[in-house]
Structure 1
Amino acid sequence: MSPDAYRPSPLADVDCEATEDRFTLVFTRDLRHPPEKVWAALTEPGQLAKWAPYTAGRNLSEAGDVTITMIDEEKSQDMAAVVVRAEPPTLLEYTLGTDLLRWELAATDAGSRLTLRHTVQDRDWIPKVAAGWHLCLDVAEKLLEGHPIPPIRGAAAADFGWSELNDQYAQKFGIPNTGMPEH
């Protein structure tokens, strides 16, 4: 896919919650698909591979250990993860390294409201994480619509508006923009 053929959607509804030593991105997006369809995209390895920055060694619909493989162009890195909670089709929570991801789905008249709570250790990562999930969820929405586009992940995200999104989310959060993480 050419970077000219894709434009990021408008900024998502976001917030940042802080605890003593951790920060949580709260990223909310309305999707035109029922929770069951979105749940499948969040949990089935074949669908994850088409939109997420990783693949999973098994379906994420059940609690327990899983290997998540992060993908950046030709490079991949296996990470141990644990599905902490899986309540189809409304709640999925898993660890990814030191991060915690909690996906909440609620039915709406138009489809679903997806709320992602991604907890990280470093506040500077909040806009970066928001920009990355923004691009990934744009791709997921195209997949759910039946008009898939290739995944946008890793260093290649810079070609598809990641830097601009990172800057806009950094401004929205009042967090200094520290640029693209090393890949």
Structure 2
Amino acid sequence: MNQADQQLRTVVVEREFAHPPEKLWRALTQPHLIEAWLMKNDFLPVAGHRFKLSADWGSVDCQVEEVEPLKTLSYTWSAMGLESVVTWTLNPTDKGTRLRMEQAGFRQDQEQAYRGAQYGWQNFFKQLEQVVAAA
């Protein structure tokens, strides 16, 4: 690992949802549901699929890296100089599902993007909770 790799930072958000993994998986992989909590998109849960997330402020170029239904979803997240990878991990619990989101790849000089992601993902998780509860 070179020095630059060691300086990369990661944003992690974990939350317990009182819903089964199937319900969360749908919200993470169905375009109309993704749009309801994250952004407009042309997502398909297929490894290698390139897709775009679009918002008022611009867009994010993504590519699906890994799909393991009901367990793991991973995709690249490229926007405004940030090259990162978002990984979702679902773990069933007695009460529902523990959902972990990890966005890795923030360089030391990307403080604004890093802080923005910390704030942004908290909001996305709140919206996700509402979408999952209503779905």
**Distance in 2 separating the partners of 1:135 and 1:58:** 21
Unaligned runs of 5+ in 1: 1-17, 148-183
Q: Aligned ranges for residues 1-183 of structure 1 at < 5 Å? A: 19-52=5-38, 54-59=39-44, 61-72=45-56, 76-77=58-59, 79-97=60-78, 98-123=83-108, 124=111, 125-146=113-134
CA contact (8 A) 1:22 1:122 kept: yes
SS of the residue 1:24 aligns to: strand
Structure-2 separation of matches of 1:49 and 1:58: 10
Structure number with greater CO (CA < 8 Å, separation at least 6) is: 2
Q: Equivalents in 2 of 1:116, 1:134: separation in Å?
A: 10
Greater Cα radius of gyration, structure 1 or 2: 1
What is the TM-score normalised by the length of structure 2?
0.82
Aligned partner of residue 51 in structure 2, secondary structure: strand
> 4+ runs of 1 displaced by more than 6 Å?
none
RMSD of aligned alpha carbons: 2.0
Q: Give the TM-score of the pair, scaled to structure 1.
A: 0.62
More strand per residue: 2
Show structure 2 runs of 5+ residues with no match: none
Equivalent pairs: percent with the same residue?
A: 27
Cα distance, 1:33–1:19 mapped onto 2, change above 3 Å: farther
2-side partners of 1:140 and 1:26: how far apart? 16
Q: How many residues matched?
A: 125
